[in-house]
Structure 1
Amino acid sequence: MSTTTSSRQARCSLRSHRSWSTYSCRSSSSPALRSARPRVSATAHIFYGGDYNPEQWPEEVWPEDVRLMREAGVNLVSVGIFSWSRLEPAEGNFEFGWLDRVLDLLHKGGVDADLATATASPPPWLSHRHPEMLPVLADGVTLWPGSRQHYCPSSPVYRSAAARLVEALATHYADHPSLKMWHVGNEYGCHVPACWCDVSAQGFRAWLLHRYGSIDGLNEAWGTDFWSQRYSSWEEILPPRRTPTWPNPSQQLDFMRFSSDALLECYEVERGVLKRVTPEVPITTNFMGFFKPLDYWKWAAREDVVSHDSYPDPADERSGMRAAMAGDLMRSLGQGRPWILMEQTTHRVNWRDVNVAKAPGQMRLWSFQAVARGADGVMFFQWRQARAGAEKHHSAMVPHGPVETSPTWSDVVTLGRELARLEAVAGSRSTAEVAVLFDWESWWALELPSKPSNRVRMMEQVEAYYAALFEANVLVDFAHPGDDLSGYRLLLMPNLYLVGDDAAAAVRRAVESGATLLMSFFSGIVDPAEHIRLGGYPQPFRALLGLDVVDFHPLSAGEDVALQFADGAQGRGEIWSEDIRLNGAEVLATFSGSHLDGRPAITRHRAGNGT
């Protein structure tokens, strides 16, 4: 049920530039490189490389790095992701000379730069001078420097300092011939997806005022007459900090929306500077697959090219499937455009309890799987394995030992040669006829506390649906339920607990126009305010399904329920059961041997031209 087209697409806004202007700030750039910049070749290719951190190494190592890059077929490296303290060792004092020399070497070696804005880890001087920018947890604990991402997303101090650095970088390197794209931040929200400090509280109130317009509108949306929570002024509202028992679920859901938007605003601050100074240079920031805290549908709309960090666990036999699923998500976030596998490991990571190494050939297998899923770039963290710091045991393209005897290096070189032969694949697109309906806001709402069962987990259901299609070699898209779904023959709805009116209407239109919808339990239950949709479960889809769910009967851990199919086949279910009353639907299977004995378990119903 999938087709592939080989029509070429413009990759990452391949571009030409004005002549390269003389540097501002401190520069040691070669005069020869200030000549007119050649146009970038319009020939598409697969990007290959890794996260390059030359500031961690003596300068005499850099030429050897470039020599090895050429040997491996590297054509793109991410540069400077964690170099803020080197680029700006004191406030307003920019030292770009070392980075000038790095980029000059890369350009001479035929390697382009995915140049980072370096804002992922603020320098010590900034947090020392402004401790109010540090993030605070829900219980009031402050997260201190000494790691990375130690900033409150709502902090005006952090945003202003980041914008100042990005302005200087963009102005300085706007016309450098090695500049291929901008890499904004790094893995936003990976360690600090939200902050509960007083600065965040102010930001949350402003966000709520913009969303609801009045305190009465907020009280209605949050259902504050429950438990005497009604607010009389905006100043009374706080982030959902530690409470005696369950906090207001509507408040929690809005705080998750706000937190995703607050980090997106950090990205937008930097993106705005870059688009003003270097409007032709494409911009990305690296996503992390099915990362719960950030609504990547919103984020992807603000990227020129989607990029992704993939770290499947070699010890888990389902990791290959999960990596493919994340790749399909990245392709879908980019509306079918090619994406970049920005990070993976060559051998093993350093942050699991036991860091199992990839089996021989597994690194190449998962790299090609990414290409098959639409990636036009295969990259690694990192280029040269670190000798110090928290990630020194994380494998890299260049290992600690001699490359001549390294199986990892041999695989790196082999993969580079193989990818270089895939020019015909670059820029091509794939068309899927099956889509999983996926919405971050529904995921957030589903897994808030005080539900009928805390055993219902969104990703478990998504994986179960996806795995069956993966094993059958069926290409799958992910689609926001409110999007135009008319191009899909089969729609899968795993636990879409929260559904807005527009999304419900889009699903109904698709089915009535001929699509088949496979809907799981506990879908269509609440609206975007996390209020129950009254009138019977699942209210937006009762007519579409030809049934009513009278009530839920969740199953305990270790409990299951028998299913009896009309053709004599049998099955078993776990996690959930429910009491269904038919209103036109056909029964495909019934519950057997429980208090729901003989009641419908699986049904089918024709609706318009679909099912």
Structure 2
Amino acid sequence: MPDTAPKGLTGLAFGGDYNPEQWPESVWQEDVRLMREAGVTMVSVGIFSWALLEPAPGRYDFGWLDRVLDLLHEHGVRVDLGTPTVVPPAWFYRAHPEALPVTADGTRHAFGSRGAICHGNADYRAAAAAITTGLAERYGDHPALALWHVHNEYGVPVSACYCDSCAARFRRWLAAAYGTVDTVNEAWGTAFWGQRYTDFDQIDPPRTTPTVGNPAQALDYKRFADATMRENFVAERDILHRLSPGVPVTTNFMTALSQCDSVDYWAWGREVDLVTNDHYLITDGRRTHVNLAMAADLTRSVADGAPWLLLEHSTSGVNWQPRNPAKAPGQMARNSLAHVARGSDGAMFFQWRQSRRGAEKFHSAMVPHGGTDTRVWREVVELGAAAAALSTVRGTRTEADVAMLWDWHSWWAQSLQWRPSEDHDARERADAFYEVLYDRHLTVDFAHPEADLSRYPLVVVPALYLMTEAAGRNLTEYVERGGTLVVSYFSGIVDEHDAVHEGAHPGPLRDVLGLTVEEFSPLLKGERVRLTGPDGSQPSGDVWTEFVVPRGAETVWTYADGLAAGRPAVTRHGLGEGTAWYVSTRLGAEGLDAVLGRAAEDARIAPRADLPRDVEVVRRTGASGSHLFAINHTASDAKVPLDTPGTELLTGERTAGHLTVPAGAVRVVRLDG
């Protein structure tokens, strides 16, 4: 089993995607000189280079890549070497047009972008294996090699193909998963609308139909498409393990919930040697640093708490949103070190040198169009020095306070058509719960619903529409043993096949919550309801209400108006040694904070009122000691209390009692002891 850390790195990884093939060789010498100036320790190479490496079928040209890797090694820069299988060459598609993916309505995509791949196509799989083998045989023991980087951002922009070849693969996948067609009929509920099958050959992918198709079939096709991509990754990974032993293999995830919704990262996290992630700010007017923290926490959780690596983010603006603002001065460092605080063993960028041509020429880079006499370059050099100063952080683990349950299968199922309200969004609820926990200065681990939760005093479930019976038992046992649980509405409704659990809602959560839900009552657009609480507070909700019947739970907040007026809105249930809370409407930040505040009291989590809003405080601990990260996202200096003295690594100053963090700055204290 290879080491999980990039081979040969002794500190944090710092660098970016390096695409020297876009530039004449005369630029390469300047590149490595500037890399040394910036403190670059690793770059990603060759991710989009298949057409150059194999200009004709079976004819390889490795000469230019030999020179690049040798040059980088000569200047002390480690290499994350890509297998370029995200963009097969034009000659490949000319010979194998059926390798281009087909949409659900029968349209075949064309060559000319990236990621246009039918992942089930046999010719693509053979060609990908061949180029991966050629690279591994040539560079498997190259002295610059630190990490293998398979493909690029699986699932972006295409995950599922609906061609006839994939249809045949889907049938085989169903036969392996279910055994008989009768079992498929039972799981999918095909008795409804007369959809029953008598042979696997009658089953097609969920292609475009006159009205809504079978939701269980659509859910299984998402699983099939994800598994098909993962098979391709595993095939390349196994070639690399065999021909380049001892070098870890990864592929770059996109765990931010807004950026990739077709990949089950719980499953993928078990297949990579090192979890890596790409993260780009969604500049939609919200607090972008909160989404960043959430993505970093989710990535760390996919890595089972182990150190991971931020493999891409941007030095400043991106180029693919409707409006692409630049990052503010100092924001590059704050973004980068916030990822490090939450478990990344480095900060890498897309890309090293800003392109002059192509679709991403306006995407920022470490070396911008303006060269080295720019703010971005000066901040890159400063950040490189900071990364070098934080070498003792490498290998430590981030400490979390609470857990949030998340399951991609549940998200897929809830996102299908004909749910009670299109305004209910699982991701929005996850964002909302996370933001309240963030503002309470609680570091969050994400967890699969069937994972061991015993180490967390508080577990929140923002939206878990699909829940297995095993997950329900897990949560019940968690509360019985002393845990505090908070569950939001429309959770525990269906099983793994999108079949409604037998009996009253919310299925496997009835006992732990001490209630049943007689009926959902979604609200019309713009409609709101008021709640009344024990202290006279009147938070409001929108989108959703329910007719809740307590079966042992106590009512804490009540609906003051709407169809459910006078009925419970928020409940609390003592079970065994713990408590379980239920929220039956979409609360805003103030109301949600009130509920989570009460739940935190149950969980004996002390409030952290001594920390200012938008000042992150996160700890990483390991063999090299304990490191406290304080990240100030505000325009004012902030004071952070310190219970242990230490040395601030970015300034070298000794600290005790409290830590002053200048406006917009980051401080990292290596605590004594």
Length-normalised TM-score, structure 1: 0.93
Partner of 1:114: 80
* Aligned counterparts, 1:41-60, within 5 A: 44-60=10-26
Map of 1:336 onto structure 2:
305
Quote the Cα distance in structure 2 between the aligned partners of 1:493 and 1:364.
32
Matching residue of 2:280: 311
Q: CA separation in 2, counterparts of 1:50 and 1:495?
A: 36
3-state secondary structure, aligned to 1:170: helix
Cα distance between partner residues in 2 of 1:594 and 1:97: 72
Instruction: Report how far residue 189 of structure 1 moved.
Output: 1.1
Contact 2:6 2:147 (8 Å CA) reproduced: no
Aligned to 2:437: 469
Structure 1, residues 285-339: CA drift from partner, whole Å, max 9, x if none? 1111222110000001101111111110345332110011000001000011111
Change (3 A) 1:500 1:186: same
Q: Which amino acid aligns with 2:351?
A: Q
Q: 1:128 to 1:348 in 2, by over 3 A?
A: same
Structure number with higher relative contact order (C-alpha < 8 Å, ≥ 6 residues apart): 1
Q: Which amino acid aligns with 1:526?
A: V
Contact 2:341 2:398 (8 Å CA) reproduced: no
Q: CA deviation at 1:358?
A: 0.9
For 2:561 and 2:355, the matched residues in 1 are separated by 60
1:175-214 aligned at under 5 Å gives the runs 175-214=141-180
Match of 1:263 in 2: 229
**CA drift at 1:488:** 1.0
Within 5 Å, which residues of 2 pair with 1:34-433? 40=8, 44-289=10-255, 290=257, 291-314=260-283, 316-403=285-372, 405-433=373-401
Give the match for residue 505 of structure 1: 473
Q: Say if 1:313 and 1:356, in contact at 8 Å, map to a contact too.
A: no
- Is 2:137–2:243's contact at 8 Å kept on the other side of the alignment? yes
Aligned-partner residue type, residue 578 of structure 2: G
- Work out whether 1:559 is the aligned partner of 2:527: yes
Q: Which amino acid aligns with 2:217?
A: Q
**Which residue of 2 is the match for residue 521 of structure 1?**
489
Equivalent position amino acid for 1:261 in 2? A
CA RMSD of aligned residues (A): 1.2
Q: Report the alpha carbon displacement of residue 402 of structure 1 after superposing the two structures with TM.
A: 3.0
* Equivalent of residue 12 in structure 1, options 4, 21, 26: 4
Q: In structure 2, what is the Cα distance between the partners aligned to 1:128 and 1:109? A: 40
Deviations 1:475-534 (A, max 9, x none): 000000011111111111111010112211211111111110000001000000110101
- Say which SS state the counterpart of residue 396 (structure 1) adopts: coil
1:371·1:377 contact (CA, 8 Å) conserved in 2?
yes
**Contact 2:476/2:511 (CA < 8 Å) preserved in 1?**
no
CA distance in 2, matches of 1:604, 1:313: 36
Q: How far off is 1:579 after superposition?
A: 0.5
Structure 1, unmatched stretches of 5+, are 1-9, 16-39
Q: Residue deviations 1:326-369, cap 9 Å, x none?
A: 00001000011111111111111111122111111111110111
CA distance in 2, matches of 1:553, 1:313: 32
Q: Could you tell me the percent identity over the aligned residues?
A: 51
After superposition, give the CA deviation of every residue in 1:82-120 in whole Å (9 maximum; x if it has no partner). 000000001111111110000000000000000001111
Which runs of 5 or more residues in structure 2 are unaligned? Answer: 580-673
Per the TM alignment, residue 210 of structure 1 is displaced from its structure 2 partner at its CA by: 0.8
Distance 1:527 1:220 in 2: 13
In 2, Cα distance between equivalents of 1:580 and 1:503: 22
Letter in 2 for 1:128: R
1:314 and 1:357 in contact (8 A); partners too: no
Q: How many residues were matched structurally?
A: 575
Which amino acid is 2:571 matched to? T
4+ residue stretches of structure 1 with deviation over 6 A?
none
Give, as a single letter, the amino acid of the residue that structure 2 aligns with 1:374: G
Q: Partner of 1:137: helix, strand, or coil?
A: coil
Residues 205-261 of structure 1: CA deviation (Å, up to 9, x unaligned): 111111100010001111111001001111111110000001000000000111111
Give 2:665's aligned residue: none
Counterpart residue type for residue 91 of structure 1: P
Query: 2:619 maps to which residue?
Result: none
Deviations 1:365-418 (A, max 9, x none): 101111111110101000011111111111111112231x21110010010001
Higher fraction of strand: 2
Per-residue deviation, 1:12: 3.2
